[in-house]
Amino acid sequence: MASGGGACGSGACGSLTKLPEKPFQPTEIAFPRRPFGKSSVVYRSFQSAWFRKWKWLHYDVGSDKAYCFTCLGAIQAGNYRSFHVLVNVKL
């Protein structure tokens, strides 16, 4: 796959079930493009540059969504019941 911000040896990169020590932040993959708009369609995708701006972003490959890494850790520890997607491509 690609280089990321976390340790990926256990296969947990981009996973929401078992988080790596650091947020998964791939920089060398082609993020899926999605159409936006009705009359004038524009294709958009997640941008790896966002990782430099927001160090806490964790990208989930399976859902093509980004989450707050600290929030995911709190959920796994049982401190919260659910989470909200920070970047949702389903608009």
Residue 33 bridge partners (DSSP): 45
pTM of the model: 0.65
Tokens 């989450």 appear where? 67
Residue type, 52: R
34-53 confidence digits (pLDDT tens): 999 989 999 999 899 999 99
Count other Cβ atoms within 10 Å, centred on residue 33. Answer: 12
How far is the C-alpha of 22 from the C-alpha of 55, rounded, in Å? 10
- How many angstroms separate the Cα of 45 from the Cα of each of 17, 59, 71? 24, 12, 23
69-91 confidence digits (pLDDT tens): 988 888 787 776 665 554 454 43
